[in-house]
Amino acid sequence: MALSLRDKEIQAAERSRKSAEQGDAAAQLNLGRCYAKGEGVEKDPDKAAYWFMKAAEQGDVTAQKTLGVCYFDGNGVEKDNDKSIYWFRKAAEQGNAFAQYSLGVLYKSGEEAVYWYRKAAEQGNAPSQKNLGWCYANGEGVEKDQNKAVYWYRKAAEQGNALAQLYLGRCYAKGEGVEKDLDKAVCWFTNAAEKGNAEAQYILGVRYARGEGVEKDQDKAAYWLTKAAERGYAKAQNYLGVRYAGGEGVEKDQDKAVYWFTKAAKKGNAEAQLNLGRCYEKGEGVGTDQKKAVYWYKKAAEKGNAEAQKKIGR
């Protein structure tokens, strides 16, 4: 009778254990993975970290990188950024691109972050390429250079990194580091939007609604704004509410307007808070409720919305 998958996992874990206990680093790494995933053994993050440590101390680069993740997440060990950096550096110095990227993230900004982002970026690590582009765009750890920002954004964008595609779209839209080109901007925004980037979806929705860089298309505007709104992007939720309230490109629907204003208002969007206050004041899509109107006007006013401040007499 053929062995079940579970039986095969148990046998594999036992083979790894025997070799691991004899000091074989690859087996120690494998046994750590078994405990991390619960394959052939009961899942046990502590034992996973123990065996990753054994392999890492022997110089296994994958174990070093994995142990860095364990300390970063506090998985099987107490969370410790210093130890996370220690093990990521060990792996990074052996050329592991993920560890190099992780060091950049841990250093956040400055020359040290740029150093490790560059190391990983030159190996083709897309998140590092995107982050290195951001460093050049903002002058973080390097001299500000929009051309280099575009260079690295493009490298990451061509690998499908959605944030890089968004950033590259912005560069083309504004003419930063490249000649202004709305067609290319829309192309990159679309790539990012199709990967689920909510900000890109919102930008596309606005552009289709206004005919900016694309032919005006209210159906596409509603499609992309709804996509972004459903992903929780507050600006899209508010703008979708505005369109439902006014019947702009969609059938007028005050209930849906209030629904989206409420979603955005609860996220702290001042325009949505103002709009929701108006709905309660006028009884549009909800019953008239002056207390709730004032509540939302105050929320918007506290965020500096001038119209809301006038409403409550500030």
Please report where in the chains the tokens 């110095």 appear, as a residue.
93
How many domains, the chain? 2
Quote the pLDDT of residue 313.
83
The answer to whether position 313 is within a domain reads yes
- Residues 218-235: what's their mean pLDDT? 97
Cα 107 versus chain centre, distance:
18
Distance CA 216, CA 6 (A): 57
Those residues with Cβ within 8 angstroms of residue 151's Cβ, 6 or more apart along the chain or in another chain: 133
The answer to whether position 298 is within a domain reads yes
What CATH number did the domain enclosing 285 receive? 1.25.40.10
Distance CA 144, CA 308 (A): 38
Distance CA 268, CA 309 (A): 16
- Residue 314's pLDDT band (cuts 50, 70, 90): low
The answer to whether position 241 is within a domain reads yes
Handedness of CA 200, 204, 205, 206 (dihedral sign): positive
284: left (phi over 0), alpha (psi -120 to 50) or beta: beta
Distance CA 194, CA 229 (A): 14
The answer to whether position 12 is within a domain reads yes
The answer to whether position 253 is within a domain reads yes
State the chain's maximal CA–CA distance in angstroms. Answer: 82
Q: Between vectors from CA 57 to CA 53 and to CA 61, what angle results, nearest 5°? A: 90
- Residue 104's pLDDT band (cuts 50, 70, 90): very high
Among 28, 45, 74, residue at a domain's last position: 74
**What would the pLDDT profile of 271-307 be if each residue is shown by its tens digit?**
999 999 999 999 999 999 999 999 999 999 999 999 9
Quote the pLDDT of residue 276.
98
- Per-residue burial over 125-155, b = 16 or more CB atoms within 10 Å of its CB, e = otherwise: bbbbbbbbbbbbbeebbbeeebebbbbbbbb
**What would the pLDDT profile of 18-76 be if each residue is shown by its tens digit?**
999 999 999 999 999 999 999 999 999 999 999 999 999 999 999 999 999 999 999 99
Distance CA 241, CA 250 (A): 10
Query: How much of the chain, in percent, has pLDDT values that exceed 90?
Result: 94
The answer to whether position 129 is within a domain reads no
The answer to whether position 220 is within a domain reads no
Tell me: pLDDT of 4 over 90.
Answer: no
Distance CA 297, CA 307 (A): 9
Q: Do 304 and 290 touch, CB atoms closer than 8 A?
A: no
**What would the pLDDT profile of 124-154 be if each residue is shown by its tens digit?**
999 999 999 999 999 999 999 999 999 999 9
- Residues 230-254: what's their mean pLDDT? 96
Q: Which domain holds residue 20?
A: 1-74
Quote the pLDDT of residue 3.
75
Distance CA 158, CA 207 (A): 23
Q: Do 193 and 224 touch, CB atoms closer than 8 A?
A: yes
Tell me: pLDDT of 1 over 70.
Answer: no
Quote the pLDDT of residue 5.
83
Distance CA 219, CA 200 (A): 17
Among 74, 97, 116, residue at a domain's last position: 74
Closest CA to 226 of 192, 260, 269: 260
Among 32, 49, 74, residue at a domain's last position: 74
The answer to whether position 36 is within a domain reads yes
Q: What is the pTM of this model?
A: 0.90
Angle between helices 234-246 and 270-282 (to 10 degrees): 30
What CATH number did the domain enclosing 3 receive? 1.25.40
